[in-house]
Amino acid sequence: LTPPKSALTEEDALAKAKTVLEKYVKLSDYETPDVGPMPYLLAELGLDTKDNLDTQCLKNPGSDAYIKSNVKYDDFKKAMLNYVSEEYFNNNFSGYINVDGNVGYKYIAMGLIPTSVSDVELFGNKDNEYIFNVTFRDEEMYDHYINKIDSTTEEECYYERKVTLVLENDKLVVSDF
């Protein structure tokens, strides 16, 4: 038996993966298991503005209750499924809830460490699942290295991870990070 052919060429898979992962690293800061459903995910997706979200949050200071956004939940989920699989969305962005048809989030904020995708290599694939070796760069540490703020070495600015993407609804999306 010969293994089934992949739906994407290696070149296409690499190009699509790099594009998706560059956006995903920005979205991953808002995954809910560690912190909670922060409002700026909606701005990162282009579904609302930071100014509108700030205004909503200021109307609910100190509240631990969910804030109903102006963004339709279905639009939010559809936008997210451009970057992550449905299973990944359900498991890692579950803190964002449907409040009367709109996205509900909490007034939560934290400092985010900027990360970028430095390199993507295809490790292997089977059927519609692709595993990549991805090299990420911690931008804050890289700034320290470039500006000689401390003894940070260039090697310390990078880390690698295996990331699995799947072809779902004709889109290559993150399924395991």
Choose among 1, 27, 41: nearest CA to 88. Answer: 27
Residue 151 in tokens: 């003894």
Sign of the four-CA dihedral 67, 69, 73, 78: negative
* Whether residue 115 has pLDDT greater than 70: yes
Q: Lowest-pLDDT range, 17-21, 26-30, 44-48, 153-157?
A: 26-30
| Nearest-angstrom CA–CA distance, 51 and 26 | 19
Confidence (pLDDT) at 170: 84
Distances, alpha carbon 12 to alpha carbons 7, 171, 176, in Å: 10, 11, 20
| Nearest-angstrom CA–CA distance, 150 and 141 | 9
Half-sphere exposure of 171 (CA within 13 A, CB side): 16
- CB-CB neighbours of 41 under 10 Å: 26
Q: Are 139 and 115 in contact (CB under 8 A)?
A: yes
Q: Lowest-pLDDT range, 83-87, 107-111, 113-117?
A: 107-111
| pLDDT-based confidence at residue 6 (cuts at 50, 70, 90) | low
Q: Which residues does 136 contact at the CB level (< 8 Å), separation at least 6?
A: 25, 115, 116, 117, 118, 158, 159, 160, 161
Q: For a pLDDT cut of 90, what percent of the chain falls above it?
A: 75
Distance from CA of residue 117 to its chain's centroid? 12
Interval 142-154 mean pLDDT: 93
Sheet holding 97-99, edge to edge: 67-72, 102-105, 97-99
| pLDDT-based confidence at residue 2 (cuts at 50, 70, 90) | very low
Model pLDDT for residues 158-172, shown as the tens digit of each residue = 999 999 999 998 899
Interval 132-147 mean pLDDT: 94
* Whether residue 33 has pLDDT greater than 80: no
Choose among 4, 42, 28: nearest CA to 116. Answer: 28
Residue reference for tokens 């993507």? 120
Model pLDDT for residues 34-89, shown as the tens digit of each residue = 677 899 999 999 999 999 999 998 888 666 789 999 999 999 999 999 999 999 99
Confidence (pLDDT) at 97: 95
What value does the mean pLDDT of the chain take?
90
- CB-CB neighbours of 53 under 10 Å: 23
Interval 106-135 mean pLDDT: 90
